[in-house]
Every structure is written in structure tokens, then in C-alpha cells.
Structure 1
């Protein structure tokens, strides 16, 4: 179920720092950790090669680009064979507006996070998804009115030390 990659406390510190400051130089990263630059660079490259670091990106302030709406849609697909899940997931990945999706347990099959220029655009997108016949039986949507907490990153220290709590 879990494909955890072995790492030590310095690797964890690298991950925590890069999650917060992805554009820092290797020299600055090494200094913040108390390592010399060469071993720090080797560790960072190893974390990239083993897939712990998937990439680097900018945190974009969408509100400064223009009006937009964020919507969470709960989607139930009509059939539950493996092929039907793959069909839906492949189709969902073609819609640029779907920025995240999760296959979940409970009363529906997928939770989609959709970002669109407005409610009308979102409605048209959902109509297109229904017309495209990608397996949607029904959906319910929640429009985000206000984002109250915008944490960037993950609780790496808690996840990495989870054995303490088991």
C-alpha cells in the first residue's frame, strides 16, 4: 500500500525547507541545514531521483489575474468496473479546469476541485462533461465562497514520524 522511500533527518529538513522556499539556491539550502553544499546537492538530487521531490512551481495569486470561482464537485459514476474508473480518470485529466481529483470512499466516487472564470463557465463545463459521456451518473457541487486557510505544503514532520502514533 505504501511505497515509502528511506530518508533521514537531513533529508526531511531538505524537504521541509524546499516546500517552503523552492527557489532557494543550494548554497542557501545547505547553510540553513548546517551542511556543506556538495552533500546537500547530492541529497537533493537523490530525493528528486527517487520521486520524493516531483517538481517545483510558483504559488500563483489567482485573484490578481481576474475573477474566478473554485468549485468542489462530488461525482458518482454510473458503473463501478475498473474500466469505468479508468475511463472517467482519463477523461477528467483532459479538462484543464479540473486541477485536482480524488477517488474517495463514501456516498460518491470522486471529489473534483475545479477552477473556472465564473459560475456560468463552470455550468457549461459540467454540461460538456455530461455530454461527453465519460460515465457521470450524477454530481453535486459546492462553490467556494471564501478560502479561510491557505497552507502551502504538507505536514511532513507528522507524516514522516507517523510510527510514533501507531
Structure 2
């Protein structure tokens, strides 16, 4: 794990507000977190520079764009040497349909989040990955039927409490 950035309660307030209102102006942000504009802007730029804020983007409602399929695939790779992990990860990064991937502990090595226009496209993607010989030993996939809930924010208050203790 990477060491935690040194953050205080104002930094966490800035982060929490930007998660909810990413398009707010610095004036609105400063007012929301209880700082004057200049220190608020300095803190926000610092959070960007140290990589805590990775970027800003729109929250797209894919269901409004037409049909698509969301799939979670559990992938086990055949060999567990560092070059094998890198080879797999580099190959996965080349496919825009794979929107998130996680190297995980447990019964498999990676959890992939895949968005495809349809099941046939997803199936073709998995066949390409298998043909590319990137070390996939086996995979299991789950097609999402319905999204029950979705949070766009993180539990920053819990993280803040941990920072205050430590």
C-alpha cells in the first residue's frame, strides 16, 4: 500500500464536496467548506498535484444511451510471476470495454468490470483475450441484470476518523 497523503479536516471537506459537486466553482467550494477562496484554491491544487484528486468527469447514465451489458469477470491467471501479472494488466488496459480491473485476493486473481454493447460483443472480447495468450487460466463471468444501488461518494468521514486517531 502507498503511504497516505497528509490531509486535514478541510482537505477532507473539499474532497467530499467535490465528489458531490465536481462542477462547483472555487467560490462555491470555499463557502461550502468554510475557507476563504485563496486558501481553498491552494488546497484543491495541492490535492490535484499529489494525486488525491485524479480528475473530474461526468457521471454518464449508460442506460439512457441505449442497450448495453455490464459484466463482472473473475479471472485466474496461469502463472504468478511478476512478468505474468504485468503482461495480463497491459493487455487488459488495451481494451476500452474493460473499464475497471482489480488484482484481488481469494479464489481468483482479477476482477474485471466490463461494459459492452451486447452479450455477443462481450463474448467476442473474452475470446480475443483467450486467443491473445495473456495467461488466463480460467474465468467466470456474471452479467448484471439490474443495478440495485450505486453510490458516487466514498466514506470520507470514516477515513477522516481514522486519520485523526493515527
Q: TM-score range by the shorter chain?
A: over 0.9
RMSD: 1.4
Asked whether 1:51 is paired with 2:51, we answer yes
Match of 2:28 in 1: 28
Distance in 1 (CA, whole Å) between partners of 2:74 and 2:165 is: 31
Match of 1:97 in 2: 97
Match of 1:78 in 2: 78
**1:155 Cα deviation from its structure 2 partner:** 1.0
Unmatched segments (≥5 aa) in structure 2: none
Q: TM-score, normalised by structure 1?
A: 0.96
Distance in 2 (CA, whole Å) between partners of 1:153 and 1:85 is: 30
Residue 57 of structure 2 aligns to a residue whose secondary structure is coil
**1:153 Cα deviation from its structure 2 partner:** 2.2
Instruction: Report 1:1-150 matches (<5 A).
Output: 1-150=1-150
Residue deviations 1:23-82, cap 9 Å, x none? Answer: 000001111122111111111111111111111010001011110000000001111111
Q: TM-score, normalised by structure 2?
A: 0.96
Distance in 2 (CA, whole Å) between partners of 1:116 and 1:155 is: 29
Distance in 2 (CA, whole Å) between partners of 1:165 and 1:12 is: 15
Unmatched segments (≥5 aa) in structure 1: none
Structure 1: which 4+ aligned runs deviate by more than 3 Å?
163-166
Aligned length: 166
Residue 4 of structure 1 aligns to a residue whose secondary structure is coil
